[in-house]
């Protein structure tokens, strides 16, 4: 029996891996994972959570929860580093360029991550869920980055 036809597409393959990556998240509000891929090879992963050595997010340490900050607003008031940021940082600490790579993300990027992805040279963004930040998508479009909302139905 030839199982080649039943293999997942590359996008399906990496999107399914995101489900495992995001389980490492320490955020209490949203679990996000990111995988940076070049030539169908994973070069970095990241998930959202507090910086190294700092206390994880809890109901007592979450500034966003304390001040009832809505999703998509006041990104600077967050204990966590975003998944995309951690994936870029992880690649940088290993001396690996992400220029020309694709990034798979559980949610569309916020404006801060979009600016980082543009400057890092990411060429294609594939995401599942939408994050409430329309300006980020405008900047990505202006930068000529291909942005794809992954269709889980097909």
Query: Is residue 82 marked as binding?
Result: yes
2 within a domain of the structure (yes/no): no
With a CB cutoff of 8 Å and minimum separation 6, the contacts of 150 are 11, 15, 126, 127, 128
Q: What percent of the chain has pLDDT over 70?
A: 96
115 within a domain of the structure (yes/no): yes
89 within a domain of the structure (yes/no): yes
| Residue 1 scores a pLDDT above 50 | no
- Predicted local distance difference test score (pLDDT) of residue 38: 97
- Predicted local distance difference test score (pLDDT) of residue 7: 92
Segment 20-38 mean pLDDT: 94
Does the pTM surpass 0.75? The reply is yes
Question: Would you place residue 74 in the very low, low, confident or very high pLDDT band (cuts 50, 70, 90)?
Answer: confident
1 within a domain of the structure (yes/no): no
| Residue 146 scores a pLDDT above 60 | yes
113 within a domain of the structure (yes/no): yes
Annotated catalytic residues are: 84
CA dist 145 → 134, 135, 148 (Å): 15, 14, 10
CA angle 43/76/72 to nearest 5° reads 80
Report the interhelical angle of 134-142 vs 111-120 (nearest 10°): 20
Domain count, the chain: 1
103 within a domain of the structure (yes/no): yes
With a CB cutoff of 8 Å and minimum separation 6, the contacts of 13 are none
Q: Quick one: tokens of 140?
A: 């990505």
Which is more confidently placed, 4 or 17?
Answer: 17
Q: Which domain range does residue 112 map to? A: 10-149
Q: Residue 26's domain is classified under what CATH number? A: 3.40.140.10
Query: Is residue 113 marked as binding?
Result: yes
Q: What is the pLDDT of residues 42-53, one digit of tens each?
A: 999 999 999 999
51 within a domain of the structure (yes/no): yes
Cβ atoms of 72 and 129 within 8 Å: the answer is no
Q: 92 in helix, strand or coil?
A: helix
- Predicted local distance difference test score (pLDDT) of residue 88: 98
61 within a domain of the structure (yes/no): yes
Of 70, 121, 68, the closest CA to residue 96 belongs to: 121
Segment 57-73 mean pLDDT: 86
């Amino acid at each position: 029996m030839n199982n080649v036809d039943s293999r997942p597409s590359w996008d399906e393959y990496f999107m399914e891996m995101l489900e495992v990556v995001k389980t490492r998240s320490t955020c209490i509000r949203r679990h996000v994972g990111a995988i940076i891929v070049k030539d169908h090879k994973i070069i970095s992963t990241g998930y959202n959570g507090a910086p190294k050595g700092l206390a994880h997010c809890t109901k007592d340490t979450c500034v966003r929860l304390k001040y009832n900050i809505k999703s998509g607003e006041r990104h600077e008031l967050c204990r966590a580093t975003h998944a995309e940021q951690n994936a870029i940082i992880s690649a940088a600490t290993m001396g690996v360029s992400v220029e020309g790579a694709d990034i798979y993300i559980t949610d569309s990027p916020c404006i801060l991550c979009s600016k980082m992805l543009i400057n890092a040279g990411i060429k294609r963004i594939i995401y599942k869920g939408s994050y409430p930040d329309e300006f980020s998508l405008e900047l990505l479009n202006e930068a000529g980055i291909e942005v794809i909302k992954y269709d889980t139905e097909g």
